[in-house]
Amino acid sequence: MGIEVCATDWSSNAEGKPFAHHFEAIDLKDKEKTLQWALEHQINGVLTAADIGVPTAAYVAEKMGLRYHSELLALRATNKYAMRQHALKIALPGPEFYCVSSDTEAIISAEKQGFPLLVKPVDSQSSRGVSVVNNKEELLLKFSEAMQASISGRVMLEEMMTGTEGSVEALVHEGKPYILGICDKIKSALPYRYDLELNYPGSYSPSQQSSIIEFVGKLVTGFEIKNGVIHIEIMVTGDKVQLIEFAVRGCGSKVITHLMPAMNAFDVMGWVIENAFQTVPAPIFRSGGAGVLKFIMLSSGRISKLHGIEAMKNSEGVLDADLERKEGDVLGVVADGRSRPGYLLALAENREALNQTVQNALNKLEVVIV
């Protein structure tokens, strides 16, 4: 695109480092250092793909007069308490919630709310420290796990919503959402809550679909999101749609960079990048077919045999796949999204054909665990 790229990451071995023209190991949370470096390079656009970088990107944009989300939106999109408070204010449906900073407060709050409860850090991602608890003992245990994952030292206790979970990928242009995809999800077994599968298009009835579309519109207007890419996680119960959380970045695991572009025949990230610099035309795309992101899970134990990764990747309909494990690796319990061993992205004409595509690809994989 002819853009000179300055990239930062806390790690001096960041995967993206070789792709950037300039790289500096700066913690994405470090607003001042990032600003200083951005000023040195006189950047004229800013972007981040990670929630943790959103407040910093907004700070830099504000100081340098660049096109990005406001600092207020950046806070509301990354701090689950600020998000819930504003959602309540704009009457966007969601669970009852409390924010606590000690186990004593957690117990008092749980007594008011009743069990089961969802415990999670106010400001973390990837389901880190997220659990469902059914009683006081579980609460105390999981509260401390959530606390460890919380940057600000605060934890949310939420009413546990039930229904079908889904997420929405959308581009926002001049305050208007353009939906790239809506999925339904398969989640991990309790007590953890990470994703196992995202299926597009989600199986929702026409009235559920219109509720979801209406919900997205209300969120974009109520949070005053002007431009950029958004990712919204929802709970659908009958025709009722509730907010799990949203982000002002695209869905990870290559959904926004690979699956959405393929399903919509549209250069999603090209649009997002151009939008970082200047006003762009509204995105025009035509969605079609079915797509899936499936996480490949393995049971606990030692991998004694692992074959067929390349064959799985080359299987018909597979957009991308990997299994980042090798023979001899010892696998433990997967408690959050970061330690899922592999993934598969695939496309087909419809969801039925997609199931077959996924099965065919997975059949090429031979894993023995002892």
Ligand X SMILES: Nc1ncnc2c1ncn2[C@@H]1O[C@H](COP(=O)(O)OP(=O)(O)O)[C@@H](O)[C@H]1O
List interacting residues with ligand X (CB under 6 A): 95, 118, 120, 124-128, 130, 158-161, 165, 187, 193, 233, 244-245
Q: DSSP character for 231?
A: E
Residues 125, 351, 164, 82: is their CA dihedral positive or negative? Answer: positive
Question: What is the closest distance, in whole angstroms, from the C-beta atom of residue 245 to Mg ion in the complex?
Answer: 5
Pick the closest to residue 2 from 244, 259, 270 (CA basis).
270
Q: Which of Mg ion, ligand X, none does 150 bind, CB closer than 5 to 8 A by kind? A: none
Residue 265 DSSP class: T
The CB-of-50 to ligand X minimum distance in angstroms stands at: 12
Query: In the bound complex, what is the minimum distance in angstroms from residue 232's beta carbon to ligand X?
Result: 10
DSSP 145: H
Residue (128 or 340) nearer to ligand X, CB = 128
CB of 98 to Mg ion, least distance (A): 19
Round to whole Å and give the CA distance between 66 and 360: 47
CB of 312 to Mg ion, least distance (A): 27
User: Given the complex with ligand X, which of 93 and 308 has the nearer CB atom?
Assistant: 93
Partner that binds at residue 165, options Mg ion, ligand X, none, CB closer than 5 to 8 Å by kind: ligand X
Site string for Mg ion, 221-240 (x = CB under 5 A): ------------x-------
- For residues 109 and 102, give the distance between their C-alpha atoms in angstroms, rounded to a whole number: 11
**CA distance linking residue 73 with residue 57, whole number of Å:** 12
Residue 340, contacted partner among ligand X, Mg ion, none, CB below 5-8 A by kind: none
Which of the listed partners (Mg ion, ligand X, none) does 95 bind, with a CB threshold of 5 to 8 Å by partner kind? ligand X
Q: How far is the CB of 243 from ligand X (least distance, A)?
A: 9
> Scanning residues 162 to 181, which ones bind Mg ion (CB under 5 A)?
none
Identify whether the C-beta of residue 166 lies closer than 8 Å to the C-beta of residue 183: yes
CB 204 within 8 A of CB 184: yes
Q: Which does 99 bind (CB under 5 to 8 A by kind): Mg ion, ligand X, none?
A: none
Positions 53 through 72 that interact with Mg ion (CB under 5 A)? none
Q: Which one, 231 or 258, has the nearer CB to ligand X?
A: 231
Identify which of residues 205 and 237 has a Cβ nearer to ligand X in the complex. 237
213 membership: H or E segment, kind and range: helix 206-222
Residue carrying structure tokens 């409860």 = 117
For residue 93, give the DSSP letter: -
Least Å distance between CB 95 and ligand X?
A: 4
Task: Let me know if 279 is exposed, middle or buried by CB neighbors in 10 A (0-12, 13-18, 19+).
Answer: exposed
Judged by beta carbon distances under 5 to 8 A according to partner kind, the member of ligand X, Mg ion, none in contact with residue 193 is: ligand X
Q: What are phi and psi of 120, to 5 degrees?
A: -155, 155
Q: ∠ CA 321-327-331 to the nearest 5 degrees? A: 80
| Cβ-based burial of 318 (10 A; exposed 0-12, middle 13-18, buried ≥19) | buried
User: How many residues bind to Mg ion according to rule CB under 5 A?
Assistant: 1
| Closer of 173 and 254 to ligand X (Cβ) | 254
Q: Count of residues for the chain?
A: 370
Nearer to ligand X, 62 or 197 (CB): 197
92 binds, among Mg ion, ligand X, none (CB under 5 to 8 A by kind): none
CB of 142 to ligand X, least distance (A): 12
Q: Least Å distance between CB 142 and Mg ion? A: 17
Do 64 and 74 meet the contact criterion of CB atoms below 8 Å apart?
A: no
The C-alpha atoms of residue 259 and residue 80 are separated, in whole angstroms, by: 27
**Binds 187, which of Mg ion, ligand X, none (CB < 5 to 8 A, cut-off by type)?**
ligand X
- Positions touching Mg ion (CB under 5 A) are 233
